[in-house]
Structures are given as C-alpha cells and as structure tokens.
Amino acid sequence: MKVSFKVNGQQVKVDVTPKTRLLDVLHDDLQLISVKEGCGEGECGACSVLFDGKTVNSCLIPAFQAEGHEIVTLEGLRKWPGYATIERAYLEHGAVQCAFCLSGFVVSTVSYLKNQAEEASEQEIEKALAGNLCRCTGYTKIVEAVKDLAEHEKIKTQFEEDWPYEK
Amino acid sequence: MKNDVTVLRPKNLDELDQALLQNTVQWTFVAGGTDLLVQKEKWIKATHLIDLTALPELHQHIEIHPEFARIGAAVPYADIIHHEQLKARLPILTRACSLIGAVQIQNRGTIGGNIGNASPAGDTLPVLAVLNAQLLIGPRTNGSFKRLPVEKIMAGPGKTNLAQNEYIAFIEIPWLQGEGYLWDFRKIGQREALAISKLSLAVLCQKEGTLIRDMRIATGSVAPVIRRHHKTEQILNDHELGTELIEQAGEMLKTEINPISDIRSTREYRKQISADVLKDVLYQWI
C-alpha cells in the first residue's frame, strides 16, 4: 500500500506493507539513519521522531498511520538554526558519550522545549526525557544541558522565528 | 502472506460502522499502537486492521457538555493531560494519564486503548470507575450507541465484554455535582517511571462538614478485573473519619480484593499495601 506524508519538510510517497513500522520506512527506505532501533518495544526511545511536532516512538507506529502527517527526524532538526544551540549545550555540559541514544534525546529535548509551558524544573525535564534511555552518561549532564537551554531566551526565539516545519 | 492483510482507514463514524456491521471478518482495532505492536502475536496474526486515528471524530474529540465531558476513544493521553477544562474539573483523570508511560507513549497511546486492552494494570480504569464513566459502544444500530458503565467492560485479564467487531467510541464522564470533593490517585510500582503497577488506587469523595459522602474507591492490579469496592465505600459513607473507622475500612478492602502472586509482587504484599495505601489516603482527609 502507498503512504504519503511529509518528512523533514519534503513530501514523500512510499510503498509499504500493512505491518511495516514507521521506523523501518524512515531508517531503511528513506535512509534517515539517525532513527535507530534499540528495544523495538517503546522503552528505550532510540527511534524517537517528531510526529506533528511531538516526540513518539516510531517503532510502535504502523507506517500507514503517518498518512497526511508531518514527521521530523534529527536530520530535519539539523536544518534549523536552533540545532546549533542544542548541540552547543549538550557539548558544553559533557552530555554525550557513545551517542547511540543521542538522536532520540535531541528529538525529545526539542519536543519538550517547543511545547514547554511552565518554567523548567529538573523534575519536569527528567519527566520529559524519561522515555529515552542512556547507558553511558548517568543522565545528570543531559538534564543540566536541557535545563541550561530552557532557562535561556535564545532557543525560544529560534522556535518562534526560525522553526521551518508546520508543527 | 503480508499481502493478505487489509487496512481500512475510515474517515468518519458512518464509514466505520458500515464496515463493522457487515461483520463478515474479524477486525483488529489499532489506535496508538503502543500496546498492540508490543503484543507481537496479536499484531502478527491480525489480518484486518481498522485505524481509529483516521477518524477525527474519535482521535481529536473532547466535548464539554454542561452535564458531562465526552472524550473520543482514540484521543491520546497527552491531549487529555493538556486540556484546560479537564485539568480544572477532572484533575484525577489528568493525574492518572500523566503517570502512564513516558512522554512518547502519552503522545500516542489512547484512553480507549487503555480500556480496550483490559489490563488489570490499566491505569485509567480505576479512575474512570470512580468517576462513574460510561462507555459508548459502537457500531451504532438504529443510530445510537450502546451504553456500558466502565466497571462492566472487563471480563478478565486482557478480555472485555465487547462482542466481535464492537468498539469503544466515546467515554462519557459526568461532572462532579456540588462542592467539597476530595480525590487521590496512587500508583505503586517498582519505580516511578515506566513501571507497570503492582497496585493502583483511586479514591474520590465529598466532605460535607466533617461527614464523608459519596465515597468511591476502585483498585487496579489487585484483582482480575478493575472494580469498585462498595462494601468499603459503605463503611465510610455518612461517617466522620477517625482512626477506628479508617482501620476498619482498610480491613474491609482486604476482603474485597483478590490479588495474585506474579512476577511483580506476591498476593500477601498486594493485600497489605492496598489497605495501607487506602488508609494513608484517608488519614490525610481527617
């Protein structure tokens, strides 16, 4: 069956089987290899992508459900000027080690910062990232990096003025 | 084999009901997919899939009536959590939804899915039970949905009382009438995030002066089905909360549940914490 949707701003049409997961389409067919399979059952968050602007596990979504929706992966986030701000925060806080989990963390970070209504607390950030597992950093530095981002106006402006996607 | 799978993405309820009323094949409903795609066997064996996220009527529908809120079964938890009116008027529901899974699951998993999966550990079920929620069941015959109190939906672990090709369309929750409502929702698990409950407990009541009215108590994970505990409720109704009464209620709750020993906990532990957590909730309202 054919499925049409937007990926990183581009309209695509792919041929899938009914049981093909969104993860498989993104990683295998569209070669967006930042989207990784970790656990394959919605626990680890390595396959996180933005689905209409919100972080989801692409391993748990049948590809046909993407019809008409907007997907953004890490590759798409790199086209946004705010990505450099996030990259710098992660680097400055030493929040990156082996980096297998990193694309998922950045996607969930964006989802959190973009939709964040209240003032950031460590607890809120931990909740926002609870669906992403990291076996290297111990999380402290990742939370510090995201707190740093949330406390500065810059990233908010970059969402408001430079966000290249619909949602 | 893979080509033998049919997918239907109905655009509205009429299309959905039309397909289901024929009742010639067994359809598998998929909404958030956060449970279905993990239940490998069920997912692999499904030959006819109906996508409930294709219908805005079910996927994006939260209706505020003067008497009740009506929530589409395929509405994701996140939409409930962030809905201002629901947050203000049904905070116990917001709380239960915000304790399910991680953000990724909340963004995708749906309230109807939580009910339809009929897990004894389904976190919204005890809360919907104390809210006296009604389920509207389709497909419609003669233009109307069948109604079922949420308490009656479960037949056993993983089993509902829905017939083949029946589906949950809406969840209707009556607003609480009157002042002075107190509520609490507690979840005991291995850790706070992403852990399946060993016990969930929803308690709701009205405090009129010093007297307890309209006590409603429901548990999850401590019996094969989610249910209200009317005997314990009756002990508390029209009484003043005090040590003796609270201890009595705890003992009664132990007799009203029927937990199993499993990978997460033993039967004895579950009985004891059910009573202890209920007592802890009640003591804060003395």
Query: Residue B108: which of A41, A56, A64 has the nearest Cβ?
Result: A56
Q: Taking Cα atoms as reference points, which of B200, B160, B187, B181 lies closest to residue B73?
A: B160
Q: Does A60 contact B49 at a Cβ distance shorter than 8 Å?
A: no
Alpha helices in B9-123 (DSSP H): 13-22, 40-45, 56-59, 77-81, 84-89, 91-98, 103-106, 111-116
The model's pLDDT over B89-132, given as tens digits with 9 standing for 90+, comes to 999 999 999 999 999 999 999 999 999 999 888 889 999 999 99
Kindly report the nearest CA distance between residue B16 and chain A, in angstroms. 16
Scan for tokens 């579950």, then name that residue: B270
What does the buried/exposed string (b/e) look like for A23-51 if buried means 16 or more CB atoms within 10 Å of the residue's CB?
Answer: bbbbbeebebebbbebebebbbbbbbbbb
- Mean pLDDT, chain B, rounded, equals 94
The model's pLDDT over B194-250, given as tens digits with 9 standing for 90+, comes to 677 889 999 999 999 999 999 999 999 888 899 899 999 999 999 999 999 999 999
Kindly report the nearest CA distance between residue B112 and chain A, in angstroms. 17
The CATH number assigned to the domain with range A77-162 reads 1.10.150.120
| Residue B59 burial (CB count, 10 A) | 20
- CA B30 to each of CA A54, B9, B16, B106, B161: distance values in angstroms, whole numbers, following the listed order: 20, 10, 13, 16, 18
Contacts of A59 in chain B (CB under 8 A): 37
Q: Which residue of B has its CA nearest to A48?
A: B104
Residue ranges matching CATH 3.30.390.50 in chain B: 181-283
Residue-level pLDDT at A141: 97
Cα B205 from Cα B208, distance rounded (Å) = 10
8 Å CB contact between B213 and B206: yes
pLDDT above 70 (res B3): no
Residue-level pLDDT at B223: 86
Q: Which residue of A has its CA nearest to B3?
A: A17
Query: Residue A60: which of B9, B33, B78 has the nearest Cβ?
Result: B33
Residue-level pLDDT at B276: 97
Kindly report the nearest CA distance between residue B24 and chain A, in angstroms. 20
Cα B89 from Cα B64, distance rounded (Å) = 11
Helix then strand then coil, % of chain B, to nearest 5 = 35, 25, 35
| Residue B198 burial (CB count, 10 A) | 22
Q: Does B104 contact A17 at a Cβ distance shorter than 8 Å?
A: no
CB pairs under 8 A between A and B: 84
Confidence band (pLDDT; 50, 70, 90) for B45? very high
Cα B71 from Cα B39, distance rounded (Å) = 25
Under-70 pLDDT residues of chain A: none
Confidence band (pLDDT; 50, 70, 90) for B74? very high
Query: Residue A19: which of B5, B9, B107 has the nearest Cβ?
Result: B5
Cα B53 from Cα B68, distance rounded (Å) = 23
Query: Residue B53: which of A43, A65, A108 has the nearest Cβ?
Result: A65
Residue-level pLDDT at B196: 77
Residue-level pLDDT at B194: 65
Cis bond before residue B139 (omega within 30° of 0): yes
Instruction: Specify whether domain A2-73 bears CATH 3.40.50.720.
Output: no
CATH class of B2-174: alpha beta
**Residues of chain A contacting B, Cβ within 8 Å:** 1, 17-19, 21, 41-43, 45, 48, 51, 54-57, 59-62, 64-65, 67, 108, 111-112, 127-128, 130-132
Kindly report the nearest CA distance between residue B206 and chain A, in angstroms. 31
Q: Which CATH number fits domain B181-283: 3.30.390.50, 3.40.50.10490, 3.40.50.2000, 3.40.50.300?
A: 3.30.390.50
Interface test with B, best of A43, A60, A67, A132 (most B CBs within 10 A): A60
- CA B237 to each of CA B55, B135, B215, B279, B284: distance values in angstroms, whole numbers, following the listed order: 43, 27, 6, 15, 17
Domain ranges of chain A: 2-73, 77-162
Contacts of B43 in chain A (CB under 8 A): 19
Cα B170 from Cα B136, distance rounded (Å) = 5
On whether ipTM exceeds 0.95, the answer is yes
What single-letter DSSP state applies at residue B240? B
Cα B53 from Cα B280, distance rounded (Å) = 40
Contacts of B78 in chain A (CB under 8 A): 54
pTM: 0.95
8 Å CB contact between B72 and B58: yes
Residue-level pLDDT at B23: 85
Q: Does A55 contact B51 at a Cβ distance shorter than 8 Å?
A: no
Alpha helices in chain B (DSSP H): 13-22, 40-45, 56-59, 77-81, 84-89, 91-98, 103-106, 111-116, 124-130, 230-236, 243-256, 267-283
Confidence band (pLDDT; 50, 70, 90) for B193? low
Kindly report the nearest CA distance between residue B109 and chain A, in angstroms. 10
- Amino acid letter for position B259: P
Per-residue pLDDT, averaged over B24-43, amounts to 95
pLDDT above 70 (res B261): yes
Q: Which residue of A has its CA nearest to B54?
A: A65
Kindly report the nearest CA distance between residue A128 and chain B, in angstroms. 6
Contacts of A111 in chain B (CB under 8 A): 103, 107
Q: Does A62 contact B49 at a Cβ distance shorter than 8 Å?
A: yes
Higher pLDDT: B13 or A119? It is B13
pLDDT above 50 (res B2): no
Name the token pair of B192: 């706070």
**Host H or E run for residue B107:** none
Residue ranges matching CATH 3.30.465.10 in chain B: 2-174
8 Å CB contact between B216 and B150: no
CA end-to-end distance (rounded Å), chain B:
63
8 Å CB contact between B100 and B87: no
